[in-house]
Copies of this chain bind each other. A is one copy, B any other.
Amino acid sequence: MSTLILPPQATPAGLAVDVVAFAMHAGELQVLLVERGSLPHARTWALPGGFVHLNEELHEAALRELRVKTSVELEPRLLEQFYTFGAVQRDPRGRVVSVAHMAVLPHGTVKVSGGGTALGAGWFAAHSPPPLAFDHHQILSSALERLQVRLEYALLALEFLPETFTLPELQGVYEAVLNKRLDKRNFRKRLLSQGILTTSGERRSGVGRPAQLYRKASRVRMPGSL
């Protein structure tokens, strides 16, 4: 396997990544956007993203762009590629394909600020975003769909919360992501019957009756075991 050069028909397209980073704030599903500081679309809100470096894996590039452009410090709890947007005219500068990633940031990720070429960064309601640069509105819609599909599957909702949380908080994540109300009793039945939560024995105070705290079960219960 000798090292060859790319053949002449290889298109030197620009290779970019964009990141749709979700988090829960104020009981709402929010998405992290940056204000572009350079052309095209200067001073327009956009998804954090940029060009992939030559010796950088796609997910590394996504992580780097997220960190540099928004100054978030916490590790994303999930970061996965979900679709590649490659329409010929999607970027006025030339042929640029963007491998779009979806990220979930844990609770506590609030402070963000611009970095690199971004003038600023901020959180916006994911279901009603401001006007966005390029085809980023399409990318966001597509990410929302994927997030909704993956919510049940794979305990994804837990990634939005701190280590311990109450059932009403967890239900809030479901409702914010699915953008609809759920029945409290059925929700609890469904979640608890899966055996993936254990009570943390403690209670959190506030207005009204305190809620039981839960955490992810250290070892997931197999069907048939106690």
Q: Does any Cβ of B come within 8 Å of A46's Cβ?
A: no
Q: Chain A: interface residue count, which band?
A: 35 or more
Q: With A15-B97, A97-B99 known to touch, is A57 a contact of B87 (CB < 8 Å)? A: yes
The contact string, 1 if C-beta is below 8 Å from chain B, for chain A 53-79, is: 111111000000000000000000000
User: This chain: how many copies in the complex?
Assistant: 2
In the complex, A94→B6 CA distance in Å? 7
Instruction: Identify whether the interface residues of A are mostly helix, strand, loop, or mixed.
Output: loop
Chain B residues with CB below 8 A from A11, complex form? 14-15, 51-54
Quick one: which of A3-18 are within 8 Å of B by CB? 3-7, 9-16
Q: A12 touching B9 by the CB < 8 A rule?
A: no
Residue of B nearest to A94 (CB): B6
The contact string, 1 if C-beta is below 8 Å from chain B, for chain A 23-62, is: 0000000000000000110000000001111111110000
Binding site for B on A (CB under 8 A): 1-7, 9-16, 39-40, 50-58, 81, 83-84, 86-88, 92-97, 99
A and B contact pairs by CB, cutoff 8 A, 26 listed:
A2-B40, A4-B39, A4-B40, A4-B94, A5-B93, A5-B94, A6-B93, A6-B96, A7-B93, A10-B15, A10-B16, A11-B14, A11-B52, A11-B53, A11-B54, A13-B13, A13-B52, A55-B88, A55-B95, A56-B88, A57-B87, A57-B88, A81-B83, A81-B84, A84-B99, A97-B99
